[in-house]
Structure 1
Amino acid sequence: MSNSLLTFQRLLQPPQLVFCLFLLLLARFTLFFVSYLKARRQFPGPPVSSMWFGNLSETMSDDIHDKWRAWHRKYGPIYQTWNSIFSRVIYVGDPRVVSKIANSNWPKIPTQYSGFKPLSGSALFAQMDQERWKQQRKGLAPAFQPQTVNEQYPTLQKYLMKFIEEIDGAAKHGSLIDFSTLDVLLTLDFVGEVAFGTELNAIRDGENCRILQIFHDVLPELMKCGLFPLRAKIPIMKSTRLMHRGIKELRELAYIAVQSARASDDETKPESGTGSRRIFEILALQRGADGGYLFSAKELVDNYGGDPTAHAITFAIYEILKKPDVLTKLQAELDTLLPHDCEVPTIEQVSRLRYLNFIIKETLRYNGPGFGTFRYTPRNVEINGYKLPANTTLALWNPQVHRDPNLWGPDADEFSPDRWYTKDGQTAVEGPRFIPIPGSYFPFSYGPRKCLGEGLAMLEMSLTLATLFKRYDLTLQERFNMEFLPSFTLCSKNGLPVKARLRV
């Protein structure tokens, strides 16, 4: 027997085999550790607080949105954090790079969006299959055309009347109103009817509204699962288990709504995109070339995961009330352009409210509820001098970009609707409208995956704020300061207590 064969046989003996496997594992670990150390040096970023869990304790904190901004200013527009020794996130805050990645429609990273899947499934914003995304987007688009959005006005008007009934009652008794809750109840009623064909009676039920309670259990935990996807897959935490139970209940309610709409389907109804049907009817009853429904029930349920519009309305109210000059200008515009006896303005009337539009745009810049999008590239790519690694989470995140002094000037941390008047930042009411540079302003995401619901959200915000500030004088509770919480979207942690008084 040859010496080489004898040597091989010895290696197959248990002790030698174990030793060889140990050497292989050691070599693999050494290569991994070297690549990890190299990656740690690739971009600047905050020091890790744990060898194994990186910056996870910081990214799970309630003030992470403030940390994103501080890190951006300290480490530059491209910086990185670590969720563990195996997972890093590169935050992309250079508008040129944001624009190129978003406009080129780089794929969303499956590992990161798996944390959102319990609620969002294969919704449009979380769809990983590019071809299916194109089909979904094409199918959803008719329901969000301007004409269709405007046809939802009667529904929004109906719930705004219920909204002001609640405020009138509180004003009569001089009691505080928590607008952070009331705004959510308003949008739940509105979206429940136009998006699911269901009357939720949210304003009527107030804090006892079951959907509101489910969202309180689901959305803050879902944000943490998005940042650390393993949390959703291994529900050790009680809050994670509550989230899963809440999502199951929410989905069951949504499936009932889909089945109800399709049970009453009538071939004589107008084609999708025509008539004055609710958005939900257009989507639920839309058929493909084969005669079957274009969207499965699961896809329709996936595509509703909460409405951040309510939080944008809350933030706008808060900032307006903190700035007496902004409040004065807004009410002067409302008094000039809306009839004295106006309760809920028409769409044509709010379209002429230029300063209100600037307030909304500034709210979405200053404290927009949406954070951005996760992307990746399957290969190493260089953009504008930055070498972006393959298969790594890229966060095109707007909280820090929207407050970057290099993009917005030295007053970037100030709420100033006037900045939208002119390009040079000078206040000139009749001057040209300010247009941010590409990639520096993306409250509804950016590029081909920009949110289809932008028009509907802007209509909700415009009509609600115009109705509110035309009808009432509002004052914040004394010494109130809002605390912000990064839930699935940014929201108020401590509500928004306000007193209302009917204007004379």
Structure 2
Amino acid sequence: MLLIILFVFILLLMLCYGLNEVRLRSSPLVPSIPNAIPAFSYGLSKKDLFTKLMYMGEFTNKHNGAAKFNIGPIYIYIITNPEDAATVANQCVHKLFVYKLIDSYVGSELISASYPVWKKNRRFIDNAFKPIVLDSFLEIFNKQSKRLVSSLRYEENKTFDITDIITRNILEIVCQTTLGFKTEDKDIVTDEYAAAVQSMLKIMTERVQYPWLMLDFIFKFSSLKKKQDEMLKIIWSLTDEMVTLRRKEYQDRLLMGETNYNDGSFRSYLDILIENSDKTNEYTNSQLRNIVDNLMLAGYDTSTYQILFALICLGTYPEIQEKAYQEICKVMDSSEKDLTKEDLSSLTYLEAVIKETIRLYPIGPVIARHSDKKVQLKNFELPSGVPVVVHVWSINRNPEVWGPDADQFRPERWLDPNSIPSNPAAFASFGPGRRNCIGKSYSIMLMKTVLSHFVYNYKITSDHTKLQFELVVMLKPYSGHLVKIEKRSEIK
């Protein structure tokens, strides 16, 4: 009986502490979002999860860019004001605990890393993203773009889902540039790998939808854990093998006295990481595998859907597609033409199309951080110890920032400096502030190359108004993403 009384007393103390925490961490200056909690109830589809998340962002936009909702004693703040988003991104550098769910896949070296680990690894990875390295990738970008165009000849004059074709092509590009795969017009990756990555993303999403599965001691007894292990075996078999092979090749070159690696010739990200790692003896094979797994995921899955959304937008607006085509024709005089970095620099309208696509359809629609201290924002003080969500989708579409046409696809806004918000965080797709995306230049260069070859050879028809989305860690099209392609008769 005494133990029961003691237990109830402790429970009451914990409840009082929790209620006090709610009071302390709930700013009266920030409105609460009604009907927000069901977004985290189990049983919602991934499509409904995205719809609920968008509702929360729209509500926040209508209330000066800051709102909150609570799950029990936990308050979660949502930010859609660019100025506040930049402050949060720069001062709240610790990722929210849900990012740890990705550790089983890509380790804790980059995406979910603690800030000190991320800072160290970011400096290390910067060596692989210098302009001279990116320029050396252009040959691969051109070659694979031509392969993509060639593979589409069987789909001409059909309405079809182009996702799988783009996925395979972009995955091959990323495998070559990240891991150093060599190919002579042969498929170098399997559909099994791509399917395994998609399965992993779905498993992570389901663990958030069913909160008890976020507890490892429960998750390890679930059928999802068994499936995860099977998918990881497929994914890691690729990167493990390449890390071991590339490290041996590098050590063999050193034994032969080959030490000049700065001549601008092609080297994969992995080659550069191994070279810099072996100089300092800092990174094990396992750490290198985790880093390249991060780069593989960020490189291929995001680029695939960014290109898909760009094609859909071009297919929706024939006049915009024609302007892009005419610009591309100025640098391409045949289907065999290889684009140079000078060519890409001159494609200013195509770049505007790409940026407008990424603005309206950010692959990572939200960024979640944890405030480890009080942070002064524009209209209130963010409490310490609360989750805070930078709502990228709604920042990019905030009419107070982008104007009344914020939801419209209008590439011309990028050609007029007066149409672009002064705060760079207003274009949040690559992440504002610290811990931003390292692959922005890679992504833009890749998209320009692929889209140039595609638009030069094919006229696209689609309708972006039919797009429906789901949240599978990242933004994915649920339906409405079919396209029709017609061979351009005037190409050489």
With normalisation by structure 2, the TM-score equals 0.86
Deviation string, structure 1 residues 76-108 (Cα, Å, up to 9, x no partner):
4111234x425443112221111223234x322
Kindly indicate whether the alpha-carbon contact (under 8 Å) linking 1:220 and 1:487 is maintained by their aligned counterparts in 2: yes
**Partner of residue 271 from structure 2, selected from 256, 281, 291:** 281
Check 1:41–1:156 CA distance in 2 against 1; reply closer, same or farther (3 A cut).
same
How many Å separate the matches in 2 of 1:51 and 1:488? 18
Query: CA 1:441–1:16 in 2, change beyond 3 Å: closer, same or farther?
Result: same
Between 188-197 and 273-282, report the one with greater CA deviation: 273-282
Post-superposition offset of 1:381: 2.9
Aligned partners of 2:170, 2:38: CA distance in 1, in Å? 44
1:420-448 C-alpha deviation (Å, 9 max, x unpaired): 122444xxxxxxxx454232112111223
Match of 1:404 in 2: 398
2:18 equivalent in structure 1:
32
What CA distance in whole angstroms lies between the structure 2 residues aligned with 1:284 and 1:345?
29
Matched, 1:166 2:160: no
Structure-1 residue corresponding to 2:473: 488
Q: Is 1:67 paired with 2:50? A: no
Work out whether residues 106 and 291 of structure 2, in 8 Å CA contact, stay in contact via their aligned partners in 1. Answer: no
Deviations 1:345-381 (A, max 9, x none): 2222121011001001101111121234322222233
Paired with 2:20 and 2:378, the residues of 1 have a C-alpha distance of 27
- Matches of 2:434 and 2:40 in 1, distance apart? 34
In structure 1, the residue matched to 2:373 is 379
Task: Give the AA of the match of 2:139.
Answer: P
Cα offset for 1:114? 1.5
Q: Does 1:194 align with 2:177?
A: yes
C-alpha spacing 1:112/1:153, structure 2 compared with 1 (3 Å): same
Distance 1:161 1:111 in 2: 42
Does the 8 Å CA contact 1:222/1:488 hold for their aligned counterparts? yes
> Percent of pairs identical after alignment?
19
Task: Answer yes or no: is the 8 Å Cα contact 1:115–1:227 preserved in 2.
Answer: no
Q: Is the 8 A contact 2:460 2:486 kept in 1?
A: yes
Q: For 1:280-299, list aligned pairs within 5 A.
A: 280-287=270-277, 289-291=279-281, 293=283, 296-299=287-290
Residue 141 of structure 1, CA deviation: 0.5
- Contact kept? 1:372, 1:443, Cα under 8 Å: no
Cα drift, residue 229 of structure 1: 6.6
- Report the Cα distance in structure 1 between the residues aligned to 2:109 and 2:23, rounded to whole angstroms: 36
- Secondary structure at 2:68's aligned position in 1? strand
The Cα shift of 1:251 comes to 2.0
Matched, 1:303 2:294: yes
**Residue of structure 1 in register with 2:201 after alignment:** 219
Instruction: For residue 484 of structure 2, give the secondary structure of its aligned residue in structure 1.
Output: strand
Cα pair 1:482 1:492 within 8 Å, conserved: yes
More deviation, 352-361/490-499 = 490-499
1:320-339 residue pairs with structure 2 within 5 A? 320-339=314-333
1:80 aligned to which of 65, 68, 73: 68
Residue 101 in 1 paired to residue 54 in 2? no
Structure 1's unaligned 5+ residue stretches are: 1-14, 426-433
Query: Corresponding residue for 1:209?
Result: 191
Distance 1:167 1:51, change over 3 A: closer
- 1:102 & 1:164 partners in 2: Cα distance? 40
Q: CA RMSD in A?
A: 3.2
Deviates more, 1:18-27 or 1:316-325: 18-27
Question: Quick one: structure 1 residues 202 and 370, their matched pair in 2 at CA, closer, same or farther if it must change by over 3 Å?
Answer: farther
1:501 to 480, 486, 491: 486
Helix, strand or coil at the partner of 1:447 = coil
Amino acid corresponding to residue 403 of structure 2 in structure 1: G
* Aligned match for 2:345, one of 351, 369, 377: 351
**Cα 1:157–1:438, aligned 2, differ >3 Å: closer, same or farther?**
closer
CA distance in 2, matches of 1:389, 1:201: 57
User: What is the CA deviation profile of residues 24-82 of structure 1, one whole-angstrom value per residue up to 9, with x for unaligned ones?
Assistant: 32132133134336656643233347699679959872424532432223444111234
Aligned to 2:136: 151
Length, aligned pairs only = 475
Partner of 1:448, secondary structure, is coil
1:12 aligns to what?
Answer: none
Please tell me the residue identity of whatever aligns with 1:136. N
Q: Which amino acid aligns with 2:171?
A: L
SS in 2 for 1:124: coil
Deviation digits for residues 256-290 of structure 1, max 9, x if unmatched?
Answer: 11111112222144456554212221113323554
State the secondary structure of the residue aligned to 2:330: helix
Q: What's 2:447 paired with?
A: 461
Aligned residue for 1:178?
161
User: Which of 79, 85, 95 is the matching residue for 1:92?
Assistant: 79
User: Which of the residues 117, 129, 135 maps onto 2:103?
Assistant: 117
Task: Look up the equivalent residue of 1:384 and give its one-letter code.
Answer: K
What residue in structure 2 maps to residue 429 of structure 1? none
Shift in Å at residue 136 of structure 1?
Answer: 0.8
Q: Where do residues 35-54 of structure 1 align in structure 2 (5 Å cutoff)?
A: 35-36=21-22, 39=25, 42=28, 43-48=30-35
Q: Deviations over 1:1-37 (max 9, x none)?
A: xxxxxxxxxxxxxx34542442232132133134336
Higher relative contact order (CA 8 A, sep 6+): 2
Q: Which moved more, 1:158-167 or 1:30-39?
A: 30-39
How far 1:489 sits from its partner (Å)? 1.8
- Aligned AA (1:316): A
- List gaps (5 residues or longer) in structure 2: none
